Amino acid sequence: MARPSWEHAHYSFYSNRQCEYFPCHRTEDPDNFNCLFCYCPLYALGRRCGGNFRYTKKGIKDCTDCLFPHRRENYPEVVRRFGEIARRMCDFEQECAPEGDGQEKGPGSTSVARPHNPSESPSDSSSESRS
């Protein structure tokens, strides 16, 4: 049986119309408002997120006018960027960790987890990440 493409897969779109904040951004198309990335994973990329944001006077990133992660068709682009987020976090942790801090590293701390690829089955990606 062929796997559905991400466009028709249930995991790529979720709309919570019962949420008290739905939709949390102004939109002309609430039927295609994707709540899957309610808290945007791209926020951590700062200016490199690719969305429509601004910084407030206090230096807080304001994404009020951004619909990028909430558009149904942007699911694969958000997922594709998980690798970049993981690499940046790894770089950040290496830059911020004092040398010889005596802290034991936890499991998987030497490798970067690979993001889910919608074209792979779950067993394809799990075997590599556990090695």
pLDDT of residue 94: 85
pLDDT above 70 for 122: no
> Number of folded domains in the chain?
1
Task: Classify residue 121: in a domain, yes or no.
Answer: no
Residue 46 belongs to what domain range?
Answer: 1-97
CB atoms within 10 A of CB 100: 6
Task: Classify residue 8: in a domain, yes or no.
Answer: yes
Task: Classify residue 120: in a domain, yes or no.
Answer: no
Distance between CA atoms of residues 113 and 84, nearest Å: 11
Task: Classify residue 70: in a domain, yes or no.
Answer: yes
What is the residue-averaged pLDDT of the chain? 78
Q: Are the C-beta atoms of 30 and 23 separated by less than 8 Å? A: yes
Distance between CA atoms of residues 29 and 10, nearest Å: 19
With bands split at pLDDT 50, 70 and 90, how would you rate the model's confidence at 99?
A: low
Lowest mean pLDDT among 18-22, 52-56, 85-89, 92-96: 92-96
pTM for this one? 0.62
pLDDT in tens, 21-51: 898 888 999 888 888 888 899 999 999 999 9
With bands split at pLDDT 50, 70 and 90, how would you rate the model's confidence at 111?
A: very low
Tokens of 109: 């701390």
CA dist list (Å): 44 to 28, 65, 68, 84, 93: 27, 17, 14, 10, 14
pLDDT in tens, 60-71: 999 999 999 999
What percentage of the chain reaches a pLDDT higher than 90?
Answer: 40
Mean pLDDT of 13-17: 89
pLDDT above 90 for 5: no
